[in-house]
Structure 1
């Protein structure tokens, strides 16, 4: 477990619900990944991300799915892609990523509290 943080530290991480509007294989990635376009609602808009979720998801199964993403990291160059958010997930027993998702329908852009 990491050290204790304060509430203000947690609130600095802007975690929002987004809806995947497109997903395609990221051919230039070193490890199997998809390029996701995620709609975080009218205030934030659509952001791109590289996601290593190919073990459990197909591009078709991702489109329309709600995800949780960090939207206030600085953009990060990943090969030819400028990643604009971090889609969150958990490693399963085999080391593959399972997405962190809301339990029900939540409007894109809703902040995690």
Structure 2
């Protein structure tokens, strides 16, 4: 594992957002959803492709808090321009479990 300095860590903007809409991303090569995530007034609404279909139906994602990287450049994923990266962890079966705060925090709060 490479080590990084704290200044490198600070370059990554990990922020809390709330999923406002989740829909099946039919054009994705691997099963995925298109998530619309509200990161608060300063950052606003961002879209992301997320391979969460194995553990979450789309209706269960709406209203959930998530942690996302908001300072990556936009990335074209098929017909979708992904504007953030919603974070998660692979479980023992390779399914993605969301990385989430365990308490309500204001939208846009930065992980430190």
In structure 1, the partner of 2:42 is 43
Q: What is the number of equivalent residue pairs in this alignment?
A: 112
TM-aligned CA deviation for residue 82 of structure 1: 0.1
Structure 1 residue ranges without an equivalent (≥5): none
Alignment correspondent of 2:110: 111
Residue 91 of structure 1 deviates from its aligned partner by 0.1
Query: Which residue matches 1:77?
Result: 76
In the TM superposition, 1:1-113 aligns within 5 A as 2-113=1-112
Instruction: Give me the whole-angstrom Cα distance separating, in 2, the residues matched to 1:41 and 1:58.
Output: 24
Structure 1 Cα separation of the partners of residues 61 and 22 of structure 2: 7
Root-mean-square deviation (Å): 0.4
Deviations 1:59-97 (A, max 9, x none): 100000000000000000000000000000000000010
Deviations 1:10-41 (A, max 9, x none): 00000000000000000000000000000000
| Uncovered stretches (5+) of structure 2, i.e. residues with no partner | none
Could you say what secondary structure the match of 1:103 adopts?
coil
Moved over 2 A (4+): none
TM-score (norm 1): 0.98
